Structure 1
Amino acid sequence: MHIQPTNRNSISGGADTAAIPDMNSGHVQTESYRQGLHGPYALWFTTGSAPSADFDTTFWEALNPSGLTTFANRGYVRGTASGIPSAFSDKITVGWANSAAQYWVKASSAGAFTSPKMKPGTYTQTLYKNELAVGTTSVTVSAGSTVTANIADTHVDDKTTYIWQIGDFDGTPAGFKNADKIETMHPSDSRMGGWSGITYTVGSSSVSSFPMALFQAIGPVKVTFNLSSSQIGARTLKIATTLAFAGGRPTVTVNGWSSSTPPAPTDLNSRGVTRGTWRGNNNEYTYAVPSGTLVAGSNTLTVYVASGSSGDAYLSPNFVFDALALY
């Protein structure tokens, strides 16, 4: 649920302030709607601190609305998430989803978790490292019982040693240039850092100088890096993205070599990043850099936006970076 604050004139002619719950905006929708009973919802107004206690919604059971599954007729999932890198021990989430319902819970730093009260059914249980899905399993929940279902991080990025890496493979552009502003500012906002003419140097540039998004009409972005003689030869470049618009996906050149164009990502039919979000379908693209391309010393990678569409400035095809790495 998204709360949209607005200032408007009331019917009586005076001014008031309204908080409008926007339940299904349709922007960057990655799953089909789950219809049926929604709620109840509770909204706290505080000075900025977290609410002291959960709001008691058990009164709904006495109202007995159609479609409600009572707490007594729900079940729990308990388990331990393992394999998440220690740097993300405070960002472990476990989720459950099927066509009728979905739930999430934050795991402890040791990976222990207990689900909310869940409707009976079979769910896909997903482990998230921050916002990136890194493991799945299936679990069946029965009314009035608790099932144990451990889950492990099986994502290749957490098992790979890279020659160099820019950003974290965690499903977000956190740390990149303008990532701290995109939720409250349009990319064209004058308070944003510049998007064009960026060259990032591995080993000396700050991660915060690398753009969180690349726009076809504004890019490309260049990455320069040095390699030793033992690091050249055939290598793999990986670029992960969190969201794309108009079929935007990365193509690259490395020194004099150019990659092929990968297949277009799923079209979410939404402008996404210009509406203040980076969240969408996470995608990973790998490029086999052939032997003889990389050299001992200075190398240059250039990343472009490929698409069958076009547009002006920030409405041109684009994508949001998650991370880049060479191995």
Structure 2
Amino acid sequence: MKLSRLRVVPWLLGTLVAASGPACAEGFGLTADATYFTIDTGGGLVFKIRRVDYGSNTQSPGDIASMVYQGVQYQDAGRGSQVNSGFDYLFKDTSAVDVQASQVDADHIKVTVRAGDLVHYYLARRGEPRIYMATRFTREPDTLNLARFILRVPIGALPVGPEPSDIRGNSGAIESGDVFGMPDGQTRSKHYSNMRLKDWRYIGATGPNVGLWVVRDNNEGNSGGPFYRSLLNQGTDTNQEITYIINYGEAQTEPFRPGILNRYTLVFTGGDKPPTIDTNWLADMALEGYVGKAGRGRVLGTKVRGVDGKHDYTIGLSSATAQYWTDLREDGSFEATGVLPGDYTLTVFKNELAVDRRSVTVRAGDTTKVAAFKVTGDPASRRAVWRIGDWDGSPAELLNGDRLTMMHPSDVRMSPWATPAYVVGTSKAKDFPACQWREVNGSLEVRFRLNSDQIAEHHLRLGITAAHAGGRPSVKINQWYAGVLAISSQPSSRTLTVGTYRGNNTLYDVVVPASALVVGDNVLTLGVTSGSQGVGFLSPGFSYDAIDLVPAP
């Protein structure tokens, strides 16, 4: 274990004092002893960064070991707040951690933590009760195969967090040790605090006269795009855990993006929501991987045509290096700023469904203009004989679809998943289940009528948003069976039981011969095909986007 050395700029020598004395005469400053670096922000917050190895990754060098705000301790004394499970447990081939600190100038303090291929920064700015943080790694931490910063705050000091992730008073785990049942039949899990990335700017919890928040940056180093969901909070009998995800394995749809400086800020308030955070001053802090405005470009779109006014649209930019997104404006234009140089795939999303893709190149200090174009891949553009749901990449309009992200499918608040036959022309979208599992609702019926003029070749289109254990639909119409459909490319994690329906949207196009159809009543029977096994809600299954029957082109 390499112990840290306090590094001090020359002009500061006269201002540092021993840790046993006051932090700083002006209420802002850095002190050190053999165990901690102590930073007084001068804004009511004093925090400590551990320098030494206690022989346990729950108290690792580089951890936040103490956070005292307005005289109250907001750090678990037994477990640090840290990246993953401790800086000395990030990489299988590395345990050494180096922690250094300096007062950069009269108004800024920087602590640098190095562990293997990862560097993490804590920064303080005079007069602000905040800890600015940044994390960069050139190789994904491989002991957990993820990267996250987790804050552990005593629950008594910060008791009010998101209800779906508050597991206090639970009656025991019902799935994998991280999904819990409650005495009243409801369910709770850290997974159910999630929100789509594009929908949140901060996460956190509150207590008596305090709010503790983590405010995110543009999330360019994450993977999964604007609609990615992952755990954010967990309230236990001992701690309020607030987790900022940099890269995460649950329901991961694309490769990780190393090499990005990921920035986020811990903010204390009197209980109100955090304000907008200015981080432009980080450009002067000599942070590895920092790219300022001059090193970034802009993408400007003049007009996207062919959109459906009933839905919101998002423009996504993605490459192996970075990701960005922006909303499509009402006039069809869009603008993405602060984009790292490189070649990107530009995707137009109708809600969460990709309906157009094209390539753009971004150059530093320049604007890439995208000429007007019309979306070309919206399944809803074809006339349908009948349709269940909306082609928008989400099951939210289907039965239980609006609850999937907040509770387990077995939750007492869910409507029964096994449903009566769906009758075209009579039933509504809310009558058709958002998900289908082989051992839960393994057979679903759709009844529809055709007249003699409609007995011709048709295409049955089935859209799924995610799948578990290789699950995909099986199709029978009257006495005709379709062939076995291909396995879609999906995340290998549980997805449907951990608060997300987001996977890789897949559209199955089944050609239905005229001989399969009859005049009058027809019955479509949908099942679940898979070569894998599972029990209950962990049996093979998938979530629906939409289903329709369209005439052959």
Structure 1 length-normalised TM: 0.91
Alignment partners' CA distance in 2, 1:82 and 1:227: 34
Partner of 2:235: 7
1:126 and 2:347 correspond? yes
Alignment partners' CA distance in 1, 2:543 and 2:425: 22
Superposed counterparts of 1:95-110, under 5 Å: 95-110=316-331
1:33 and 2:256 correspond? yes
Alignment partners' CA distance in 2, 1:104 and 1:36: 19
2:389 to 147, 164, 167: 167
Deviation at 1:286, TM superposition (A): 1.1
2:281 to 50, 59, 79: 59
Gap runs ≥5 in structure 1: 10-14
Deviation at 1:273, TM superposition (A): 0.3
Give the number of aligned pairs.
Answer: 319
Tell me the secondary structure at the aligned position of residue 273 of structure 1. coil
1:263 to 477, 483, 486: 486
Deviation at 1:87, TM superposition (A): 1.9
Alignment partners' CA distance in 1, 2:239 and 2:252: 31
- Tell whether the 8 Å contact from 1:104 to 1:116 is kept in structure 2 after alignment: no
Deviation at 1:156, TM superposition (A): 4.7
Partner of 1:190: 412
Instruction: Give, as a single letter, the amino acid of the residue that structure 1 aligns with 2:429.
Output: V
Superposed counterparts of 1:79-158, under 5 Å: 79=301, 80-88=303-311, 91-150=312-371, 151-158=373-380
Alignment partners' CA distance in 2, 1:124 and 1:173: 25
Partner of 2:243: 20
Tell me the secondary structure at the aligned position of residue 134 of structure 1. strand
Tell me the secondary structure at the aligned position of residue 242 of structure 1. strand
1:68 to 284, 290, 295: 290
- CA offset digits 1:162-218 (Å, max 9, x no partner): 111101111100210111111111111121111114311111112111100000112
Alignment partners' CA distance in 1, 2:402 and 2:490: 25
Deviation at 1:293, TM superposition (A): 1.6
Question: CA 1:291/1:279 → structure 2, altered by over 3 Å: closer, same or farther?
Answer: same
1:319 to 521, 524, 542: 542
Deviation at 1:64, TM superposition (A): 2.8
Q: Which has the larger radius of gyration?
A: 2
The higher relative CO (CA closer than 8 Å, separation ≥ 6) is in: 1
**Mean Cα displacement is larger for which, 227-236 or 53-62?**
53-62
- CA offset digits 1:54-97 (Å, max 9, x no partner): 42221211113111111111110001222112222xx1111111
Question: CA 1:302/1:38 → structure 2, altered by over 3 Å: closer, same or farther?
Answer: farther
Instruction: Give, as a single letter, the amino acid of the residue that structure 1 aligns with 2:499.
Output: G
Instruction: Give, as a single letter, the amino acid of the residue that structure 2 aligns with 1:306.
Output: T
Superposed counterparts of 1:215-294, under 5 Å: 215-218=437-440, 219-294=442-517
Deviation at 1:121, TM superposition (A): 0.9
Identity among equivalent positions (%) equals 38
Runs of 4+ displaced beyond 4 Å: 42-46
Instruction: Give, as a single letter, the amino acid of the residue that structure 1 aligns with 2:325.
Output: W
- CA offset digits 1:31-55 (Å, max 9, x no partner): 1000123322257899xx997x742
Question: CA 1:164/1:56 → structure 2, altered by over 3 Å: closer, same or farther?
Answer: same
Tell me the secondary structure at the aligned position of residue 292 of structure 1. helix
Structure 2 length-normalised TM: 0.55
Partner of 1:78: 300
Question: CA 1:266/1:214 → structure 2, altered by over 3 Å: closer, same or farther?
Answer: same
Instruction: Give, as a single letter, the amino acid of the residue that structure 1 aligns with 2:361.
Output: T
Partner of 1:214: 436
- Tell whether the 8 Å contact from 2:395 to 2:402 is kept in structure 1 after alignment: no
Deviation at 1:24, TM superposition (A): 2.7
- Tell whether the 8 Å contact from 1:305 to 1:318 is kept in structure 2 after alignment: yes
Alignment partners' CA distance in 2, 1:148 and 1:279: 30
Alignment partners' CA distance in 2, 1:136 and 1:283: 15
Give the aligned CA root-mean-square deviation in angstroms: 2.2
Tell me the secondary structure at the aligned position of residue 72 of structure 1. helix
Tell me the secondary structure at the aligned position of residue 128 of structure 1. strand
- Tell whether the 8 Å contact from 2:261 to 2:290 is kept in structure 1 after alignment: no
Instruction: Give, as a single letter, the amino acid of the residue that structure 2 aligns with 1:188.
Output: S
Instruction: Give, as a single letter, the amino acid of the residue that structure 2 aligns with 1:159.
Output: S
- Tell whether the 8 Å contact from 1:223 to 1:301 is kept in structure 2 after alignment: yes
- CA offset digits 1:111-141 (Å, max 9, x no partner): 1100021011111111111101111111111
- CA offset digits 1:250-296 (Å, max 9, x no partner): 11100110110111112421111011100001101011111122122
- Tell whether the 8 Å contact from 2:349 to 2:355 is kept in structure 1 after alignment: yes
Tell me the secondary structure at the aligned position of residue 274 of structure 1. coil
Question: CA 1:43/1:284 → structure 2, altered by over 3 Å: closer, same or farther?
Answer: farther
- Tell whether the 8 Å contact from 2:436 to 2:543 is kept in structure 1 after alignment: yes
Alignment partners' CA distance in 1, 2:318 and 2:490: 22
Question: CA 1:70/1:44 → structure 2, altered by over 3 Å: closer, same or farther?
Answer: same
Deviation at 1:159, TM superposition (A): 2.7
Partner of 1:12: none
